[in-house]
Structure 1
Amino acid sequence: MSSAPRFDRGHTDDLMSFLAAAPSPYHAVAAAAERLEKAGFRQVLETDAWDAGTPAADAAGTGGKYVLRGGAIIAWYVPEGAPPHTPFRIVGAHTDSPNLRVKPQPDMGAHGWRQIAVEIYGGPLLNSWLDRDLGLAGRLSLRDGTTRLVNIDRPLLRVPQLAIHMDRSIHEKGLQLDKQRHMQPIWGLGGDVTDEGGLISFLEAELGFAAGEVLGWDLMTHALEAPAYLGRDRELVAGPRMDNLLSVHAGTAALAAVSASPALGYIPVLAAFDHEENGSQADSGADGPLLGNVLERSVFARGGTYEDKARAFAGTVCLSSDTGHAVHPNYAERHDPTHHPRVNNGPILKVNVNQRYATDGSGRAVFAAACEKAGVPWQTFVSNNAMPCGTTIGPITAARHGIKTVDIGVAILSMHSARELCGAKDPYLLANALTAFLEG
């Protein structure tokens, strides 16, 4: 069994707090960093020198470190006496979720309604964003070159659905939504749509900034309903952004737990990236150089050579943790007939022979051993052959860095909805499995 503390339902309680505190990727990494700081981790700046001469927060010494870049965090723990060629054990995840994001010219309106111009991010279930009270969160870039997190966590926006009286065919033809015409939220009344009294002026006033101080923004909507237990016996959890903050939270908890372990055979790492939902091609995405740069610099900072780095990478394993599909009771025929993952039955191993997932037989063995060590049940997910399979950061990580990667996750329903559903046990079962994996 794992020597690190075992997680229980309190972990799921904390997950719900994490989801509520993280309405954007920028808030998610800030919340993860706060938890790691409490476990003794310290931030390392990419612009600093990473050598033994660097003061206070140097990357050369032992202990916990982390790097922030936008909506991504890379965190690692160096055990006492670990040689530079020590392999890494990585939990990979992503911080972004499908939603509606504010356009560069946000203010619009028609027929006396004031609206906000939004662009569709990723692949959301559009109907799940209708008739919900929405907040607004993200990052503001200021005139002095700094950034500031913002979270308007109260009813501010709404995408109103057309009344059935004006769409009598909806039950026969289904709901038809045009991404441009039908998804622009309202936020007030008024005829003059100028920046005077517009969204950015509103945010400047909310945060106490002078007019014109905000020069850039990365803003997105979020549903305001709080995460909650659901069901007769509270055996389910409903909440936003489980894809994939559930994995970010579990990975953060696991890394903090193993940092207190007396002996580690690997260097445990959390790599939580942004922009997975639109392809990972960003400076903070899994298809960028961030992870490789951080791991390589950490090897060199501890006196290692290129040969040490190559040896470390050759022995490294990554668990790419992302949510997957639980069997849906109303659509069971959409699943593979021999693979029906169920909620509260433990994490899932995700397999696709066409490399939409990176798992192979040897990776399966690594995951099975970690679950056995933690005393955690696990399941397997395979897509129906007649349906295209989704993908993750797993194949990208494996191909870009030459690292053995295994795709896993937690089975949920309503993936990409504004509000998703998982089993109440699965988050802490995942955290226990990740802890055992990071311990080696």
Structure 2
Amino acid sequence: MTEVKSKLESFNKALLKFIDDSPTPFHAVANMQAMLNKAGFRRLDAAADWGTLSAAELDRSYVVRNDSSIVILAHVAALADADAVNRGLRLYGAHTDSPCLKLKPLPALSRHGTGQLGVEIYGGALLNPWFDRDLSMAGRVVVTTSSGERCSLLVDFQRPIATVPSLAIHLDREVNQNRTVNPQKHMPPVILLEQAGNGGFSADGFEQILLEEARKAADDDSLQRVVSWELSLYDTQPGAVIGLESQMIASARLDNLLSCYVGLRAMLDSKTNEPCVLVFNDHEEVGSQSAEGAEGNLLPSTIQRIVAAVRSKKTTEDVSVRCHRLLERSFMVSADNAHAIHPNYADRHDENHGPQLNRGPVIKVNHNQRYATNAVTSAFYEELASRCDLPWQSFVVRSDMACGSTIGPITASALGVKTLDIGMPQWAMHSVRELCGSEDPHNFYTVMKAYFGTKTLP
């Protein structure tokens, strides 16, 4: 086995473990915190006065909001230097959420001898692939302790507990012509078969199931009651490297935990001393309009607060002015996967813009500003990739089709920062199981290491 192949396999193994261990945004952020803590980073209290902290305490740190979004600060003590605004920030952003089935507040359903769960469709999910999967459940629950206090904790059943069974073709002979899925009627999963005389599946029964799982997660049998929850269903099939020659990766949540892992790992592995800020937002799949979404103030306020906390006592420059000057010299990479050309649906792509798996990351362009890329930001990435001797591709949606979007335009407009939209080419976006090339993530990781270490930004 060559050294290059060995590195690639090791990287993909760690990537898939991260995704498998992160069935919800809450778990993804918890796992990123574990990686950061291991690397010597420390968590900042968002409600504390950061101005009382030392440069060392601020230099490698992070702040979390809602347990589902995180901003990471690396080498920010350098911003105290007189020429700090000329160095700029190396910004990187992605999102922690993925389309899925989320439980309703009162999910217990007892119907025709079965216990089912009422679910809401989160984001633009492809629904048909959710049928006949071995599903588990994970997320955040709020519980009361023996002293009457409330606390939140993460739960993950980690075993198949539910399924959405298909209707037999004998009962719908036209199913293969045009299968329409009604989210309200057809998507509630079956969680158990009721036994005669037990009263059926109830709200109390469901809450007891959650309480038992919470007690296990907390290793605390004294927890009294589950008050509320944010729970998602997920496919228990682990991610895998597939294909006759192991050229593809199949996994849930490649959009967009792949970009989260690649960016964080690249920053941690880079030898840079340049100031870097990474942001991983929740709620991108539903428009980003939340306190922890990209339209919230998490990133702008964190940058402003850190600049205020580390700036030199020798300067009297207004903090907001200093931030504006700093951001004028900064650069943002917005990482979110792109549509690879599908061999069975090639006509869905523009004839000159059909990215392929394992041909490099995809620079995403839309002149109507659904993506934030421009000629300057695209050229900068191409220069970095050329230095690494690695390929890249371009994507523009067909002119007669609507274009999706990312956190890129939102962040660019909020900060006034030069931004590049880029991502891994993939198939089956928003499916319960997605596909990408097995070489592209490491390719992007290598270029991002160079990006975090570069001393010159455009």
Question: TM-score under structure 1 normalisation?
Answer: 0.93
The structure 2 residue matched to 1:231, chosen from 240, 243, 248, is 243
User: Which residue matches 1:307?
Assistant: 321
Give the letter for the 2:350 counterpart.
D
User: Which residue matches 1:41?
Assistant: 41
User: Are the aligned partners of 2:279 and 2:299 in contact in 1 as well (CA < 8 Å)?
Assistant: yes
Between the aligned partners of 1:59 and 1:213, the Cα distance in structure 2 is: 43
Give the letter for the 1:111 counterpart.
H
User: Which residue matches 1:374?
Assistant: 388
Q: Deviations over 1:142-191 (max 9, x none)?
A: 2333211111111101111111010011123x111101000000101225
Between the aligned partners of 1:7 and 1:299, the Cα distance in structure 2 is: 37
User: Which residue matches 2:209?
Assistant: 202
Q: Are residue 64 (structure 1) and residue 60 (structure 2) matched?
A: yes
User: Which residue matches 2:135?
Assistant: 134
Between the aligned partners of 2:19 and 2:291, the Cα distance in structure 1 is: 24
Q: Deviations over 1:198-256 (max 9, x none)?
A: 2x210211232557522121100000001111111111110100000000000110111
Which of the pair is proportionally richer in helix? 2
The structure 1 residue matched to 2:185, chosen from 181, 194, 202, is 181
Q: Are residue 281 (structure 1) and residue 313 (structure 2) matched?
A: no
User: Which residue matches 1:3?
Assistant: none
Secondary structure (helix, strand or coil) at the match of 2:351 reads coil
Equivalent runs, 1:102-141 vs 2, <5 Å:
102-141=103-142
Give the letter for the 2:111 counterpart.
A
Between the aligned partners of 2:238 and 2:437, the Cα distance in structure 1 is: 16
Give the letter for the 2:303 counterpart.
L
Between the aligned partners of 1:182 and 1:381, the Cα distance in structure 2 is: 35
User: Which residue matches 2:263?
Assistant: 251
Identical columns (%): 39
Q: Which residues of structure 2 form unaligned runs of 5+?
A: 1-5, 216-220, 313-318
Between the aligned partners of 1:309 and 1:157, the Cα distance in structure 2 is: 50
Q: Are residue 147 (structure 1) and residue 152 (structure 2) matched?
A: yes
Between the aligned partners of 1:89 and 1:36, the Cα distance in structure 2 is: 18
Which deviates further from its counterpart, 65-74 or 412-421?
65-74
User: Per the alignment, do residues 140 and 170 of structure 1 end up closer, same or farther by CA in structure 2, a change over 3 Å counting?
Assistant: same
User: Which residue matches 1:321?
Assistant: 335
User: Are the aligned partners of 2:363 and 2:421 in contact in 1 as well (CA < 8 Å)?
Assistant: yes
Per-residue deviation at 1:367? 1.3
Q: Deviations over 1:100-147 (max 9, x none)?
A: 000000111211110011100001110010010100011112233321
User: Per the alignment, do residues 39 and 10 of structure 1 end up closer, same or farther by CA in structure 2, a change over 3 Å counting?
Assistant: same
User: Are the aligned partners of 1:236 and 1:424 in contact in 2 as well (CA < 8 Å)?
Assistant: yes
Q: Are residue 101 (structure 1) and residue 105 (structure 2) matched?
A: no
Between the aligned partners of 2:176 and 2:58, the Cα distance in structure 1 is: 62
Matched pairs, number: 425
Per-residue deviation at 1:9? 3.3
User: Per the alignment, do residues 65 and 188 of structure 1 end up closer, same or farther by CA in structure 2, a change over 3 Å counting?
Assistant: same
Secondary structure (helix, strand or coil) at the match of 2:157 reads strand
User: Are the aligned partners of 2:328 and 2:416 in contact in 1 as well (CA < 8 Å)?
Assistant: yes
Between the aligned partners of 1:373 and 1:62, the Cα distance in structure 2 is: 32
Which deviates further from its counterpart, 37-46 or 161-170?
37-46
User: Are the aligned partners of 2:110 and 2:202 in contact in 1 as well (CA < 8 Å)?
Assistant: no
Secondary structure (helix, strand or coil) at the match of 1:359 reads coil
User: Which residue matches 2:403?
Assistant: 389
Question: TM-score under structure 2 normalisation?
Answer: 0.89
Give the letter for the 1:66 counterpart.
Y
Q: Deviations over 1:31-88 (max 9, x none)?
A: 111112222211111011102x33xxx5675631111112111101126644253521
Secondary structure (helix, strand or coil) at the match of 2:159 reads strand
Q: Deviations over 1:321-344 (max 9, x none)?
A: 000111100000101101111111
Secondary structure (helix, strand or coil) at the match of 2:449 reads helix
Q: Are residue 330 (structure 1) and residue 344 (structure 2) matched?
A: yes
Between the aligned partners of 2:76 and 2:403, the Cα distance in structure 1 is: 39
User: Which residue matches 2:438?
Assistant: 424
User: Which residue matches 1:165?
Assistant: 170
Per-residue deviation at 1:306? 2.5
User: Per the alignment, do residues 283 and 79 of structure 1 end up closer, same or farther by CA in structure 2, a change over 3 Å counting?
Assistant: closer
Give the letter for the 1:271 counterpart.
V
User: Per the alignment, do residues 340 and 328 of structure 1 end up closer, same or farther by CA in structure 2, a change over 3 Å counting?
Assistant: same
Per-residue deviation at 1:317? 1.0
Q: Which residues of structure 1 form unaligned runs of 5+?
A: 1-5
The structure 2 residue matched to 1:433, chosen from 447, 451, 454, is 447
User: Which residue matches 1:296?
Assistant: 304
User: Are the aligned partners of 1:44 and 1:59 in contact in 2 as well (CA < 8 Å)?
Assistant: no
Per-residue deviation at 1:403? 1.5
Between the aligned partners of 2:23 and 2:116, the Cα distance in structure 1 is: 21
User: Are the aligned partners of 1:94 and 1:275 in contact in 2 as well (CA < 8 Å)?
Assistant: yes
Give the letter for the 1:287 counterpart.
E
Secondary structure (helix, strand or coil) at the match of 1:18 reads helix
User: Per the alignment, do residues 211 and 89 of structure 1 end up closer, same or farther by CA in structure 2, a change over 3 Å counting?
Assistant: closer
User: Per the alignment, do residues 303 and 80 of structure 1 end up closer, same or farther by CA in structure 2, a change over 3 Å counting?
Assistant: closer
